[in-house]
Amino acid sequence: MTDSGNAMLLWQVIREDDNGNRYRVGRYATRDEAQQTADTLGVSGHRQMYWIERIGQSVQ
């Protein structure tokens, strides 16, 4: 997918594993869509953490 194809995907879901490695799980058009994905993935009971952030804003 080209960058222009991602122009409207303003929200991303980030996963952090138990070793502190971070990965982008996916990009989404709406905050609600991203939050629903993070919530669904977070119920697995593993030690990974999932959160959402707006593209261009990162959690330090």
pLDDT tens-digit map of 12-57: 999 999 899 999 999 999 999 999 999 999 887 677 899 999 998 7
The answer to whether residue 59 sits within a structural domain is no
- Evaluate if residue 8 carries a pLDDT over 70: yes
Number of domains in the chain: 1
Backbone angles phi, psi at 35, to 5 degrees: -65, -40
pTM: 0.76
Report the alpha-carbon distance of residue 41 to residue 47 in Å, rounded: 11
The answer to whether residue 10 sits within a structural domain is yes
In this predicted structure, what is the pLDDT of residue 56?
84
The answer to whether residue 60 sits within a structural domain is no
Structural domain containing residue 19: 3-54
Structure tokens at 27: 């990009």
